Amino acid sequence: MIAKSLVLTHPSQEINGTVQLTGSKSESNRALIIQALSKGLVKVENLSEAADTVTLQAALNLAISGGSDLKTINIGPAGTAMRFLTSFLNLVKGNFMLTGTERMQQRPIGILVDALKDIGADIHYENKTGYPPLKIEGGMIQGKDKISIQGNISSQYISSLLLIASSLKKGLTINIQGELTSKPYVTMTLEMLKECGIEYNFEESSIYISKQDFKDSIIYVEPDWSAASYWYSIVALSKNGHIVLPGLKENSLQGDKEIVEIMTYFGVSSSFENDGLHLRKISLDSNKSLFDFKECPDLAQTVVVIASVLKKDVSFTGLETLKIKETDRIFALQTEISKFGAELIADGETYHLKTEQVSDPGDLTISTYEDHRMAMAFAPLALVFKKVKIEEPSVVEKSYPMFWQHLEDQGFKIEEK
C-alpha cells in the first residue's frame, strides 16, 4: 500500500465474520533462527507474512551465502531481527555490517553487545557507542560460558542469547538480575527450542543450556495473538460483534494471549471452539481499575485506546519498555488520544487515564510515528467516531500486511487519500 493516508468509516457498526490471521511474527522470527542454526534439520510451517519476518529471512540467506567480503545487512525497522542477528552473526564465518533505519540506530543494543563480548564475540560500533550499526566478525571462539544480564530490559536480548546457546562450544548460563520483564517471550523461546530437541534448565533466576544438536522436527507457527488483539478491539467497539479467528491455541506460547482475560473487562467474551476462537460482544460490567502490561507490553496501545473511547478511567503499569520501541509509544499515545479529549498522565511508573473530556471530534486524524501498532490500535475507532484518518497506513506491513483488506472484509469503508 502506497497511499499517504486512509479514511475509515463503518456505516453499520455491526461485525460478523471469520478472519484468518497470519502466523505469529514472534514465533516466526525465532523459528527462522532455529532453522538456520539447525542446518536444515528443523522445518517451519505457517511462517508469518509480516515484513519483519520477510526481512529476517532474507538477511539470514545473505549471511550464510558464503564469501569473504564485508556483507552489509540492513534490517530496516525490524527490531527483533536486529537483536536476533546481533547474536546469530557471531556464529557465521564472515564479516558483517548490521544496520537499520534512522530510528533503529537510536534504539539501544549495548546490553546485548556487552553480553556477547563477554563470551568472546568480536563486535564494534560503527558510529555511536551502544547503538547500531554494528561491525561483527563471525566465527567467534567462545570464552566465558556464564553471563549476567538485567531482567528489566528488552526480553529480546535474553531470547537472542538463548537461541544461540546450544550452538556454543561450552553452552551458556544466563543469570538474570532483578525481575524479568516480558517473561512469556523468554518462555516462548525456551519452549520452541525444546520442540526441536534442545533441553534447558530454568531455576530461580538462572537459565542453563548445554551444547546440543537439534533434531529433525517441524515448527508449526501459531497465528498471531498480537494481531488478534485488534479484533478484540473491533468487537468491543462494535454495536454487535462476533468474530471467529481460526487456529489460535488455548495453551498458546504467546504472551499476548493475555488479551483473552483483559478484554473480559471491556465487553468481549472468548470461547475456543472447533472452528476457532470466537469473540463475542457482551454487556460491560467491570470495576477493574489497574492493568499491568509487564508480561505483554505489545497490547498496551490497543487497550489504552479502547479504554479511552469507552471512558474507563483506569491505570496502567508495566509500560517501561514502550519508550524504546518503534517510537516512544507512551508519547505517541498521549499525543493521539488527546485529539479526542483523553489524557494519559504519568505518576512514576504508573499511568492514569482520564476520559471525562472524551468526545467525537468529527474528523479524527491519527499520526502513526512509523509504528505499525499505532495504526492498528486506532483504526477501530471508526466504529465509534464519524470518520478516522490514518496517516502512513503502510506501516502495518511490518506485522500484519492484510490488516486493511481484513477490515474491508468486515464492513469498514476505506478511502485512499
298 is catalytic: yes
For residue 394, how many other CB atoms are within 10 A of its CB?
A: 17
Closest CA to 272 of 237, 241, 244: 244
The single residue of 224, 256, 298, 371 carrying the catalytic annotation is 298
> How far are the Cα atoms of 10, 188, 271, 365, 394 from residue 5, in angstroms, in the given order?
17, 36, 35, 9, 9
> How far are the Cα atoms of 7, 34, 51 from residue 226, in angstroms, in the given order?
23, 22, 15
With 0-12 / 13-18 / 19 or more C-beta atoms within 10 angstroms meaning exposed / middle / buried, residue 216 is exposed
Asked if residues 231 and 376 have their Cβ atoms less than 8 Å apart, the reply is no
> Looking at residue 23, what DSSP letter applies?
B
- Beta strands, E only, 212-302: 217-220, 240-245, 268-273, 276-281, 290-292
Paired residues of 378 in beta bridges = none
Cis before 133 (ω within 30): yes
Closest CA to 206 of 245, 244, 236, 177: 177
Torsional sign, CA 244, 247, 251, 252? negative
For residue 339, how many other CB atoms are within 10 A of its CB?
A: 13
Angle of helix 79-88 relative to helix 110-118, nearest 10 degrees?
10
Residues 6+ apart with CB under 8 A from 36: 60, 63, 64, 88
Closest CA to 47 of 405, 412, 410, 401: 401
Residues 6+ apart with CB under 8 A from 371: 325, 326, 327, 329, 332, 395
List, by residue number, the catalytic residues.
298
